[in-house]
Amino acid sequence: MNQKYKPIGEIIVGINGWIEEGHDASVTIIDANEDNCKILGALEEEKVTKNKCAYNTLPVKSLDALIKYLKIDVSDIKKVVFGWNLPMLFQGKNRLMEFSDKQILRMLFPNNNIENKTVGYIDHHLAHAACAFRTSGFERAIVLILDGQGENESGSLWIGQNNGLQRIKTIDIYSSFGYLYEAVNEILGFKVNESGKTMGLAAYGTDQYLDRIKSCFYIRDNFCLNDSMKKYKTAAKRFSSGHMDMQETCIIMWKLFFAEKLGIKPLDKKITSFYDVEEKYRNLAASVQSFLEFAAMELLKPVIEETNIRNVCVGGGVALNCKMNGVLLSQDMVDDIYINPAANDAGVSMGAALEYAKQMGLCSRVPFSGGGLEYLGIEFEDSYIIGKIEEYGMNYDVYDNAEQIIADEVNRGGIVALFQGRNEWGPRALGNRSIIASAASKTMLDYINSKIKKRELGRPLGPTILFDNDEFEDVKGKKSAKYMNIAFRAGADMEKYEAVVHCDNTYRPQFLEKENNDIYYRQIRKIKETSGEAAIINTSFNIETPIIYNVDDAITAFFKSKLTCLVFNNRIVLKK
């Protein structure tokens, strides 16, 4: 029962996060030899600590949880590698990297002695590119990385082929599309990490200001800011407080521009409904969204034409923009697209581990077929779950399988929380920590938004759809749409699922294959057999927190909300 894991090769631990200006702390553990590479586990710190985005920390708790779950002997760890070149970051601010390998390892492993190991660093955008390409299954691909910033760039283009990655273009930090988008987030009253809200709001507006945003860039010169932005850049530097990154400076720069040129200043009240947002703010969201889609296509087009490589990988925090990804996939010049479930900075722990394996001459490609990449966290056994429920004095029922119970609950209009298997990698719930409900009625959308999720009215929800469903046979790229990170234009097949079609007639599906998640597949199939519904609402199991990670939080959330049913491991059922 307590037998330690036996490595097939080298155990490499990838890390994201830092104690100063770090965010999205995470850990990935791989086992690689010359012929095989296996991702053993990956987990974000925010899910364990419940601190959204896990700012200014190392992934200490997630690393400890994963090592214990996988039964890894820390003495078998060969290398710890970061998805940031931290020494370069410090040098860029005329500072010394003040921490030795031994000190960093002590911080990461406070309960273990592995001080004889060494720490490595992979450049940030290379780690993003490795995360995207090395898990895509593509033999050749164009890799587009867009985020706030890396060490010296905010965007980069790569060619992935022959198991290697060649960088062919970069975008400077001041021209960051990620920071531009974050500036709009702040103007709308959202947090900088709430770009998904701006993307959702964009559908309610028109891109009235698109040309004004375009006019700030030399589009044919890697989207460098042009001379018209100099005064805003200079002013922003005066207001900035000298952080290691340039996020604050770039956000201030864009806020100054929008205030002076468009007369748009930050909202002075919190948005509670997307339906009621003032027109100019809806249009600003729509304009920055349209610009992002335009810019991504402009960057990709000449490279695809020159190389005739028609598969595209997208990574970096901007790659969580499912609308942009859908627009890219819809282009005739693109055959297929891939986005890792954790395309944001959490994913660079995976990219760092895989890239280091490549540099050591080990296998670093992970096969895309068969699934499994999306469920890399921690699983809880039935006996543990039942013990926790009994601690709370709750009544529960145990079934051989609860598929019909779930289907009947959804069919009668109930809202079911699922907690099963290993938790998801990345910010999307994909059936193991999910809330599911019927998508047939539009009223379910805002009932879930207001009564369950406690968030803005009008926020879109996405569906789970069985991959082999005949109604969706002709959807381009659905093999890659496993992770709810691509938006598609809704056709006639979606007309009866109003709750998951956004106001711009797009939907963000998880196309679920049996081999990816057999239990969840059977649950969704049983719902279809019972109600006839092919698309089911799937939203993350959380209420004003990161996706729920442990059993205590699942039970607490269930009884504090209007959820009607909670099912653990497809067997243990709590009802109200």
CA distances from 411 to 415, 527, 535 (A): 10, 7, 12
CA distances from 499 to 301, 412, 470, 526 (A): 34, 16, 21, 20
For residue 133, pLDDT beyond 50: yes
Q: Indicate the burial class of 152 (C-beta count within 10 angstroms; 0-12, 13-18, 19 or more).
A: middle
Q: What pLDDT score does 371 carry?
A: 58
pLDDT tens figures, 539-550: 999 998 999 999
443 phi and psi angles, rounded to 5 deg? -65, -25
Comparing C-alpha atoms, which of 159, 84, 169 is closest to residue 129?
A: 159
340 phi and psi angles, rounded to 5 deg? -60, 145
Q: If you average pLDDT over residues 401-428, what whole number do you get?
A: 97
Q: Provide the 3-class DSSP secondary structure of residue 169.
A: strand
Tell me the average pLDDT of the chain.
Answer: 95
Q: If you average pLDDT over residues 135-149, what whole number do you get?
A: 96
Q: What pLDDT score does 464 carry?
A: 98
For residue 520, pLDDT beyond 90: yes
pLDDT tens figures, 294-327: 999 999 999 999 999 999 999 999 999 999 999 9
For residue 22, pLDDT beyond 70: yes
Q: What pLDDT score does 370 carry?
A: 47
Percent of the chain exceeding pLDDT 70 equals 98
Q: Indicate the burial class of 200 (C-beta count within 10 angstroms; 0-12, 13-18, 19 or more).
A: buried
Q: If you average pLDDT over residues 263-286, what whole number do you get?
A: 97
Q: What is the dihedral of CA 356, 360, 363, 366, to 10 degrees?
A: 0
Q: Provide the 3-class DSSP secondary structure of residue 404.
A: helix
Q: What pLDDT score does 207 carry?
A: 98
pLDDT tens figures, 52-97: 999 999 999 999 999 999 999 999 999 999 999 999 998 887 888 8
Q: What pLDDT score does 478 carry?
A: 87
Q: What pLDDT score does 96 carry?
A: 85
Q: What pLDDT score does 1 carry?
A: 53
Q: What pLDDT score does 114 carry?
A: 83
pLDDT tens figures, 455-490: 999 999 999 999 998 878 778 888 889 999 999 999
pTM: 0.96
Q: What pLDDT score does 178 carry?
A: 98
Q: What is the dihedral of CA 221, 222, 228, 232, to 10 degrees?
A: -160
Q: Provide the 3-class DSSP secondary structure of residue 267.
A: coil
Pick from 99-108, 154-163, 369-378, 425-434: least confident:
369-378
Q: What pLDDT score does 351 carry?
A: 98
